[in-house]
Amino acid sequence: MDEQLELLRRVAGHLGVTSTVNAVTVGRTYMKYRASKVRGRAWQMERNLLRPFILRHWRTRCEAITAATWIEHRRQRKRDRTRTGRPPCDLTLNLELKRAKQMFRSAKLAPFADVKPVKTRSRRGSWFTADQIDRLYAHADDLRWRHQQVTFRALVAVMADSGLRISEALSLRWDRITLQGTTSVLGKGSKTRVVAFTPRALTALARIDRHKNSPRVFLNWRTYKPYNPSTVRAWFRQAIEAAHLEGAKADGDFALVPHILRHSFASIADERGAPASWIQQAMGHSHASTTAVYLHRSEADAALRMAAIMGERKPPKKSSSRKKDLVNADRSRVVSLS
C-alpha cells in the first residue's frame, strides 16, 4: 500500500499536479462532518448552506484555507444568482460562514476564527393589516392548481391567525388537533406551546384532503411528502403580486416573505388590545424584548400619541418684559386699524 502511495506521489509530481492522497482537504473534512450528522430536514438546510463553499474548495487543503479565502469566496458569491435572480443577501452569507466554522471545528481546525459576520438588519419592518391579509387570502385563487390554492389559503389563515412560523405550520398533524380547535407545536429550542385556531383557519384546514397513510396536514398531492418552505415562498410571491401588496414592504426589507404573517399576527393582536404577555405566550418567546420586535402597531400608536400631544401643546411662558412688548405691539396695531 505504501509503495502505491509513493508511486502516486511521484506521478503527481512528474505531472505537476499537487498530490492530495494523504492531504486533509476540504472535501474530506466535509465527508467526515456529513457522516456525523443525522439525515433529515435540519441536515438538508445545513447542507445547502455548505454547498457553495464546498464545491468551490473541494480539493483545497485545509492548511491552505485562511481568512482571505473566505473574503474571496464571499466576493465571488456576490456575483452568483439564486433562484429569485438576485445574489444571496448578507444574512445568508453569514449563515454560510457559521456552518463552515462548525464544519472545521468538528475537525479541530479554525481557519475562520478571525472572520466576523457582516452586520445586517436585525429586524423586519414590514407587516400586513387585517384588510391586507384578507386580500392575500382571497388571491389564493390566482395560483394555478386547486391543491395549491387550498393549501396556501390554509397556511395563510393558520400563520396569520395563530402566529406560527412556517416550519411549525408545515409540521401540523391531524391527530394532534383537538375538537376544541387547539394543538401543540414544537418551536425553537424544543419548546412546546399550545395554539388555538380561529374559525377561518379551521374552515380552511377542513378543505384539505387527508391522506390515509400520513397524519401530516400539509402534504404534496403527488409525492405525499411534506412541502418544502421554498415552495411556499414561491406561492407567497405569486399571491403578493396578484394582490398588489408590494407597497407593504418597509424600507430596508429585502422582500416580503411568509414570516411577515407572524409579525402581522402580533401587531394586529396588539392593536385589538391583547396583553403583551398573551402575545408572548402565543408566539413562544422566552423574553418580552423579543416579542416587542414584532409589535409594529405599538410604535405607530406611540408616534400618533406624540403627534397629538405636539399638536395641542400650549405656548411656552414668556417673560414679563416680553409680554409688555407684545401688549404695546397689539395696541399700536389696533390704533393703525382704526
CA 89/CA 87 separation, integer angstroms: 6
Sign of the Cα pseudo-torsion (205, 206, 207, 212, in order): positive
Any catalytic annotation for residue 233?
no
C-beta neighbour count of 257 within 10 angstroms = 18
Any catalytic annotation for residue 285?
yes
CA 197/CA 254 separation, integer angstroms: 30
Active-site pick, 57, 99, 139, 165: 165
Q: Which amino acid is at 179?
A: L
Closest CA to 152 of 163, 164, 168, 136: 136
Name every residue whose Cβ is closer than 8 Å to that of residue 272 and which is 6 or more positions away in sequence.
none
Any catalytic annotation for residue 165?
yes
Supply 18's cell numbers: 499537487
Name every residue whose Cβ is closer than 8 Å to that of residue 326 and which is 6 or more positions away in sequence.
318
DSSP state, residue 336: H
DSSP letter string, 150-219: HHHHHHHHHHHHH---HHHHHT-BGGG--TTSEEEEE-GGG-EEEEE--HHHHHHHHTSPPPTT--BSSB
Any catalytic annotation for residue 263?
no
Please report, to the nearest 10 degrees, the dihedral formed by the alpha carbons of residues 129, 227, 220, 234 taken in order.
Answer: 50
* Helix, strand and coil in the chain, % to nearest 5: 60, 5, 35
Phi-psi map region of 136: left, alpha, beta (phi>0 left; psi -120 to 50 alpha) = alpha
DSSP state, residue 207: T
CA 258/CA 198 separation, integer angstroms: 19
Any catalytic annotation for residue 262?
yes
Any catalytic annotation for residue 135?
no
CA 174/CA 183 separation, integer angstroms: 9
Active-site pick, 33, 137, 227, 294: 294
Supply 325's cell numbers: 412688548
Active-site pick, 188, 207, 225, 323: 188
Q: Which residues are catalytic?
A: 165, 188, 259, 262, 285, 294
